[in-house]
Amino acid sequence: MSFAEMFESFFGVEMTPVYIVSQIIGMFGMLGHIISYQSKNQKKIMLWQLAASVCFILSFLLQGGYTGMALNIISAVRSIVYSNVQDKKWANSIFFPIALSAASVIAAAVTWNGWASAVPLAGQMIFAFSHRAKNPKTVRILSLPGSACWMLYNILIVNISGIATEVFISSSIIVGICRYDIPRKKS
């Protein structure tokens, strides 16, 4: 039995060239997310998040994960807006998390594929508010539950690169919290 046959038997997903390409693109998205949570300032976090979102838009499109694709389009917009919260007054408006949340609900409704579509929507709603924070510590801490929601979605649609991404994102967030957010005792 070949690796592809074992994979297909175990996960129930055919390992086509399109699926493989979608996973490779997803791995680049994963790299963007990992780097983002190791960034010291909020603007860099958001710009790396933008790069990751673009990769996942393509990855989900190729897999037929249209809810994930639509929500990542909104994530890309969110990253552009929130990369400006430090220096642009308009980016701090409460309008944006509310509008992004509303857009996410509409996107999930339009691409509805059963309850699996509700899981990333919950994560998206969390990120709509957590990524607005100016403090990188707040961004990191509030991002953990959103990442858990996306993990479940990726498990449900058998998105291997997405599952790996959420494992690494959660790990990266925890490492970032340990590196930057937990005060160290001075010797």
Report whether pLDDT(148) > 80. yes
Task: Report how far apart the first and last C-alpha atoms of the chain are (Å, whole number).
Answer: 58
Q: Max alpha carbon distance in the chain (Å)?
A: 59
% of the chain beyond a pLDDT of 90: 46
- pLDDT of the residue at 105: 96
Whole-structure pTM value: 0.83
For 157-170, how does the pLDDT look when each residue is reduced to its tens digit (9 = 90+)? 888 889 999 998 89
Residue 92: both structure tokens together: 């701090």
The pLDDT-based confidence of 2 (bands split at 50, 70, 90) is: confident
- Give the pLDDT of residue 184: 76
Residue 66: band (very low, low, confident or very high) from pLDDT cuts 50, 70, 90: very high
pLDDT, position 186: 72
**Per-residue pLDDT at 4 exceeds 80:** no
Model pLDDT for residues 83-102, shown as the tens digit of each residue: 998 888 888 888 988 999 99
Would you say residue 119 has pLDDT above 90? yes
CA gap 159, 63 in Å, rounded = 8
Q: Looking at residue 181, what is its pLDDT?
A: 87
Q: What mean pLDDT is predicted for residues 112-120?
A: 90
Enumerate residues 6+ apart whose C-beta is below 8 A from 131. 45, 46, 49, 78, 79, 82, 139, 143
